Amino acid sequence: MSTQDVTLKPLVVDLFKQLGLYNQASNLVNDAVKDYNPATVSRLLKKHQIGFSVKKPSDKTLQLTVHPFLVVPENAPAFIAKRQGDKFEQLHNNQWQSVDITLLDDSTFIFTIDVLPNTKKSIQAFAAHMSKHTKWYKPVFWLSLLSSLTGLAVPLFTMAVYDRVIGGQAPDILPSIALGGMLAISVLISTRLARAKVLASTSNRLARDLSQLTFYRLLHMPLMVLSRVGISNHIARMRNAEKVRMLLSGPGGGGLVDLPFTLIALFAIMFLSGWLVLVPIGMLILYYLVMKVVNRYVQAASPTVSGEYQNALSELAKNLLQLKAAGDTDGWQTKFMRQCKENSRQNFLYAKRNGLNAAIAHSLSLFTALITVFTGIFLVLNQSISPGALIACVMMIWRITGPAQMAFSSKQKFTMMDVAVKQFDRFMQASTEQSELRLDTPDSSKAPTVSFQHVTLRYKAEGEPALSGVNVDIDAGELVAVIGPNACGKSTLLLSALGVLEAQAGFVTVNGKNLKQYDTEIFRHWVGYSPSQPDIFPGTLAENVRIAKPDATDEEIKAAIVAAGGASFLTSINHNLNIDLLGENNAMLAAIEGSYINLARALIKHSPLLLLDEPLPHRNPQSKQQLISTLLALKGHSTVIFTSHDQDLIKQADKVIVLDKGAVVFAGPIPDDAPTSPSQTDMQESPING
Ligand SMILES: Nc1ncnc2c1ncn2[C@@H]1O[C@H](COP(=O)(O)OP(=O)(O)OP(=O)(O)O)[C@@H](O)[C@H]1O
């Protein structure tokens, strides 16, 4: 037991207290378990439904934390820390002292808290991020108060002119009243400007943090979840942050902030005219009830086809070549025109109802002013109030109905924001690959053994399994071919060995350790993986290969491309590693060139474990020979698992795994009597003709 284990328990108790989880903290104190280690911490956080991530000190997203977190260095005492602005502070003897977390080395575990348990009392993730920008509340409050007070200037000025200057026959006081009014108006304008600036910068910072967090979590979510949810949903998540920004920095945000300050205008009316204040109060209630019904009527007509309309556009963009090749685009055009028409019809109806909404809101405001005048006239006639006071009251009515109108007309945006906030909270609760404590790092000194233990994997709960009870052992340094008909699960097998797909039953081990024990980032950095589809990113050839090894030299990149069989590709581009792959002249880079890049990314790592999905799509004989030589040279030094339909390549393998409908039908060395030529394999039943 290390000294750290002894001190970790009180720290976890303190962390729970810092998070406001007092009951849970006292439960921990009474808990019989005394010795905590990082694994205990991870288990406890999970048990208490606290969403967390395990990060390294160099992780930039530490800057986005909103809750205190636990830092567990390998060779130093653990401590609780929190972000304070751009810096960090550590809790020491109940005092927060500044600390530089980035100085700690990468063997440190940082348990950051993403979401608190989902109880009514807990602060949800969005609200926690919103309150992170605490500084905005105070200036917005004071600026709004000041602008509401100075907003009374014009009505009061008018009252003074009417009652004192005209009624009191005292034109000499006009300049001083005018000066006071001007001063108040200039304060009003400056406070409005300053408040708009604070709201814009707060909402921008909030949107930036939310986008970064969303992007970060998307990067770390399990592949299965990502592919199930679909790309359009991820884009919608990224847009949520934008929606929040637009609403808060737009007029709706200002209206919302102003709403509580309408009380000032109500008090002023009460002060000037006594019970006349009941008129605007009654009208506000009526306003609320009428607008609630009208808003429901408007919402019932919200367009529903805009999503399909967008999908039709992206489908068109994706299938443009097929459409052009087919020559007949009439069907598509008719379908699209139908969608366009329906989209326009729905938008028209929605706009019409929105117009009705605006008209009713405006009429209610006018109506409120009129009723105030009519009622107020009786007070003037029996001399309860002055005519100037009545005029001022009518002017102030606008300061009440204005924000109310703004808040109601933004109702749809608030509903959208509410949905976005709830979605964000749910998204933050979904576990990522970092919600597990994975401590092990792979041994890079030698080729590993790989073992699939009863692996069963389904992409969808109701579908057939892509892998079904796969049970195979691969020895260190073996060259293994995974073969079988299309869709039999070859790619899925490689992805499960890479650890990006997790089996629902069974597990994969590398060097005898369950993949779930390995630090995901270190493990994937260590493995060389090449997917079957070319993945080219915007940028140069060198940048594309350096994705796998950022510090690779130009010579290393060229050597990796040659080893992948791309010598002729290099010659065709004059060995220029700086060509822009998706630039104007290279945008149509053939798939085969993309596959050299994929393969070069895997080979440049000189990893002891290589997972190559279809490394030979359509090669010319020289490049095929080059790749075969590369794979043969790797035998004994690296464990290589590849999928292929190419007989010449399969023949080189020490072992073949034949899959059929996700199940292993043969695993072992190629039998001596197996057919070798493609023509033979096409005709005969054999392990290698899959
Ligand atoms: N992201 C996914 N979502 C749902 N099903 C999937 C997904 N990826 C693969 N599948 C399904 O899993 C099964 C196995 O697919 P996989 O790509 O592993 O086969 P394969 O043998 O590599 O095929 P090929 O030789 O065509 O590359 C197929 O039925 C496929 O449709």
On whether the CB atoms of residues 392 and 272 are closer than 8 A, the answer is yes
Query: Is the ipTM beyond the 0.95 threshold?
Result: yes
Decide if pLDDT at 251 tops 60. yes
Per mean pLDDT, which of 15-24, 179-188, 260-269, 659-668 is the most reliable? 659-668
- For the ranges 19-23, 29-33, 475-479, the lowest mean pLDDT is seen at 29-33
Quick one: tokens of 149?
A: 């007070």
Q: What residue owns the CA closest to ligand 1's atom 14?
A: 489
C-alpha 319 to ligand 1 mean position (Å)? 21
Residues in contact with 236: Cβ distance below 8 Å, sequence separation at least 6, in sequence order: none
pLDDT of amino acid 131: 67
- For the ranges 123-137, 235-249, 457-471, the lowest mean pLDDT is seen at 123-137
C-alpha 527 to ligand 1 mean position (Å)? 21
What percentage of the chain reaches a pLDDT higher than 70?
A: 89
What percentage of the chain reaches a pLDDT higher than 90?
A: 24
pLDDT of amino acid 656: 94
pLDDT of amino acid 558: 95
- CB 616 less than 6 A from any atom of ligand 1: no
- CB 486 less than 6 A from any atom of ligand 1: yes
Among candidate residues 509, 514, 269, the one with its CA nearest the CA of residue 375: 269
Tell me what the mean pLDDT of segment 1-9 comes to: 59
Which residue type does 164 have? R
Which pTM does this prediction carry? 0.70
- For the ranges 335-339, 374-378, 423-427, 590-594, the lowest mean pLDDT is seen at 590-594
pLDDT of amino acid 86: 82
- Structural domains of the chain in order of their starting residue, each with its CATH number: 3-122 (3.90.70.10), 130-429 (1.20.1560.10), 447-527+642-685 (3.40.50.300)
Q: What are the phi and psi torsion angles at 590 (to 5°)? A: -65, 155
* Alpha-carbon gap, residue 368 to 634, rounded angstroms: 85
Tell me what the mean pLDDT of segment 564-572 comes to: 88
Q: What burial letters (b/e) apply to 317-333, b meaning 16+ CB within 10 Å?
A: eeeeeebeeeeeeeeee
Decide if pLDDT at 686 tops 50. no
pLDDT of amino acid 484: 93
- CB 182 less than 6 A from any atom of ligand 1: no
C-alpha 477 to ligand 1 mean position (Å)? 27
Long-range contacts, 286-294 (Cβ 8 Å, 24+) = 286/364, 287/361, 287/364, 287/368, 287/401, 287/404, 287/408, 288/404, 290/360, 290/364, 291/357, 291/360, 291/361, 291/364, 291/408, 291/411, 294/356, 294/357, 294/360, 294/361
Tell me what the mean pLDDT of segment 79-98 comes to: 88
Decide if pLDDT at 545 tops 90. yes
Q: What are the phi and psi torsion angles at 611 (to 5°)? A: -120, 110
Q: What residue owns the CA closest to ligand 1's atom 29?
A: 487
Residue 179 burial (C-beta neighbours within 10 Å; 0-12, 13-18, 19+): exposed
Q: What is the DSSP letter of 637?
A: T
Residues in contact with 688: Cβ distance below 8 Å, sequence separation at least 6, in sequence order: 481, 483, 647, 650, 651, 656, 658, 670, 674, 675, 681
Decide if pLDDT at 457 tops 90. yes
Probe residue for ligand 1, chosen from 228, 492, 657 as the CB with the greatest number of ligand atoms within 8 Å: 492
> Sorting pLDDT into bands at 50, 70 and 90, what band is 456?
very high
Decide if pLDDT at 687 tops 50. no
Q: What residue owns the CA closest to ligand 1's atom 30?
A: 487
Decide if pLDDT at 455 tops 90. yes
Q: What residue owns the CA closest to ligand 1's atom 25?
A: 486
- CB 576 less than 6 A from any atom of ligand 1: no
pLDDT of amino acid 681: 40
Cα angle, residue 474 at apex, residues 470 and 476 outer, rounded to 5°: 160
C-alpha 500 to ligand 1 mean position (Å)? 14
Q: What is the DSSP string of 560-577?
A: HHHHTT-HHHHHHTTT-T
662 Cα nearest atom in ligand 1: 14
- For the ranges 376-390, 408-422, 467-481, 506-520, the lowest mean pLDDT is seen at 408-422
Tell me what the mean pLDDT of segment 512-536 comes to: 89
Decide if pLDDT at 676 tops 50. no
Number of Cβ atoms within 10 Å of the Cβ of 356? 13
Q: What are the phi and psi torsion angles at 165 (to 5°)? A: -75, -55
- CB 459 less than 6 A from any atom of ligand 1: yes
Q: What are the phi and psi torsion angles at 117 (to 5°)? A: -55, 145
* Alpha-carbon gap, residue 81 to 60, rounded angstroms: 15
- CB 490 less than 6 A from any atom of ligand 1: yes
Decide if pLDDT at 657 tops 80. yes
Which residue type does 443 have? D
C-alpha 466 to ligand 1 mean position (Å)? 7
- Three-state DSSP state, 663: strand
> Sorting pLDDT into bands at 50, 70 and 90, what band is 460?
confident
Quick one: tokens of 230?
A: 């679909």
